[in-house]
Structure 1
């Protein structure tokens, strides 16, 4: 008998629906033969989701924790009903099902980070221990279930958990940038958060000192940090919800040429046109932001007659965890930046 590779048996009341699309999952015990059971320590909520929840409840840490608990209790997983996004977790392996493919790679007690979204991960929160609003993290007591198809990374021993979690949460972003950036290109990264910083570091590596690298953000302080460690050639303070203004700023910075590639890592909505308008005809836009609207991007590009290839950032790229951790290990100033922000 084939194993339940994708966790279809955990979907409540919707036959044939995959867990990510399901309205509700069954997170109950016991662990099944194709599953991995995790004692959860921390949830790293994705930036767009945490921002929305924080705004909804007024920024109070206790209320943020209660709202997250409420969502998980209702849905059996952490999937923000407004943004549709989740995040990822770290914890310790508690049990390996008899037919889980990681039986030869993991043992009970190993500490791991899941590299699949919380939107498809059965989860129970028994207690919210702490809310770290500055880094979008929630420490909890509870359990989660990883399906046979679920990817993960063993937590490294040479850096703090919180730092590794912050980087692994967005490790698909720099890995996809590595595929698309070539020497001589003009590249812009919109958003100076953790994914933006990693994308800039990888783009700089790929450019090999040939090309131009722009960082765009609404926060001058964040831009100053990136500039200070040499992660960009040009730092532009912009409001990404103002598409035409951003285009004009980028055009001026590139002598009217615009960009070969723009990577959107913004954690707010309505930034699609800033991205599209900043790309030259024939260029590429990569959307990593969970606040992106496909409709706004597709119809927006059509509406302005922009010939742009649009890529939806996939959180999974083969080797993405190793690539991201290598960036931190080999870029001391990037590691210091992450250490300052996320420890």
Structure 2
């Protein structure tokens, strides 16, 4: 048992445990002894331990890497919908077994345990800031309201938050879908801000996938943190035109981030900081080649192979620091929402993405 992690006995004895863990150990069905994110299956029982919160789910936001993999693997929207429903039913959480990633959700607080430390109240409309890969989730409507297209999944069901979970109340001034899109990736701009400030004034920054959600926010964060040369690399001319129109970068380049030589040649002079925000695998070596010795690479993509990144840097004799973006920095939700509200180019790209999703 973890020290200071357990609370009082739950008389229901759900799952056979007599006490709950703030980390959610009591919800692990199999295998025993692992944390919820590592678990194959979680208990979704609606009966709460004293430190838990029960949420009525209204919408899931699948992470980009997971949704891309599901779409490419299953093809038709109906098959994608069935695949998501099957994962949740089998595992008690949305945890893509191929990408290892999930997403987050939007919902309304139904019940708050008397010892919950999260500060939430019944009726609060919230977005969870912890991954669906560790959140007990039950879907009750068979995803009947989702076409199978797009990362946002309207649904009905319940989810459980633990004592160490994180959630944000939804802002009143933004549409739910837009707020959910921002909060889904809010760790990226906050960590980018920290890393660029550490690099010092006048640093150069490259964002791979600069036209996406996390990429556009990271560009804005890098600018605010004092980056002097700001480079966005995107895969198509259409996306490049959108990023240029948004005014978020000094240079907007087009290349396949999976082609390391093309990335290095296109970027030219190496940068101090590279932020990887793509949703496809195979972009590690391009990031290494584009980063100067002594520089830093931040990997936010859930499609990243960290062994490929480490061994690739070793094989290229690259003296670079590599960071895993873990999605949490104190104040990250407020920071990302402020960028959306105050940087017109960020809002423009998010609105463009929403319009495109609505039209497909």
TM-score (normalised: structure 2): 0.90
Corresponding position of 1:116: 130
Q: Could you give the per-residue CA deviations for residues 186-207 of structure 1, whole angstroms, max 9, x where no partner exists?
A: 1000002100000011111112
Give ranges in structure 2 of 5+ residues lacking alignment: 1-5, 8-19, 356-360
The offset of 1:23, in angstroms, is: 0.8
Which residue does the alignment assign to 1:195?
214
Residue 92 of structure 2 corresponds to which residue in structure 1?
A: 76
Change (3 A) 1:201 1:39: same
Q: What count of residue pairs does the alignment treat as equivalent?
A: 333
Question: Structure 1: which 5+ residue stretches go unaligned?
Answer: 252-256
Quick one: which of 251, 262, 276 aligns to 2:288? 276
Deviation track 1:31-53 (CA, whole Å, cap 9, x = no partner) reads: 22111000000000000000000
1:171 and 1:132 map into 2 onto residues whose CA distance is 26
> After superposition, where does 1:208-227 map in structure 2 within 5 Å?
211-227=228-244
1:208-247 superposed matches below 5 A? 211-247=228-264
Residue number among 33, 38, 45 corresponding to 1:16 in the alignment = 33
Partner of 1:39 in structure 2? 56
Q: How does 1:22-33 map to 2 (within 5 A)?
A: 22-33=39-50
Contact 2:60-2:153 within 8 A present in 1 as well:
yes
Q: Tell me what 2:102 maps to.
A: 86
How many Å separate the matches in 1 of 2:57 and 2:45?
Answer: 14
Alpha-carbon offset, residue 339 of structure 1: 2.1
Alpha-carbon displacement from aligned partner over 1:259-307 (angstroms, at most 9, x marks no partner): 0000000100000001111001111100000000010000000001000
Alignment-derived partner of residue 96 in structure 1:
112
Match of 2:223 among 204, 223, 248: 204
Output the TM-score relative to the length of structure 1.
0.94
Shift of 1:239: 0.4
Aligned to 1:254: none
CA contact (8 A) 1:135 1:341 kept: no
- Alpha-carbon distance, 1:329 to partner: 1.2
Query: Alpha-carbon deviations, 1:104-133, whole Å to 9, x = none?
Result: x32211100000000000001112133366
Distance 2:176 2:315 in 1: 45
* Residue 337 (structure 1) aligned with residue 349 (structure 2): yes
SS in 1 for 2:180: helix
Question: Is the 2:99–2:303 contact (alpha carbons within 8 Å) kept by the matching residues of 1?
Answer: yes
What's the Cα RMSD here? 1.3
Match of 1:183 in 2: 201
**2:358 alignment counterpart:** none
1:167-210: CA deviation from partner (whole Å, max 9, x where unpaired): 00000000001101142111000002100000011111112xx6
Preserved contact between residue 248 and residue 345 of structure 2 (Cα < 8 Å): no
The aligned residue for residue 301 of structure 1 is 313
1:74-115 deviation digits (Å, cap 9, x = unpaired): 11100000000000000000000121113xx32211100000
Number of the residue aligned with 1:258: 270
Residue aligned with 1:321, SS: helix
Q: Please state whether the residue corresponding to 1:101 is helix, strand or coil.
A: coil
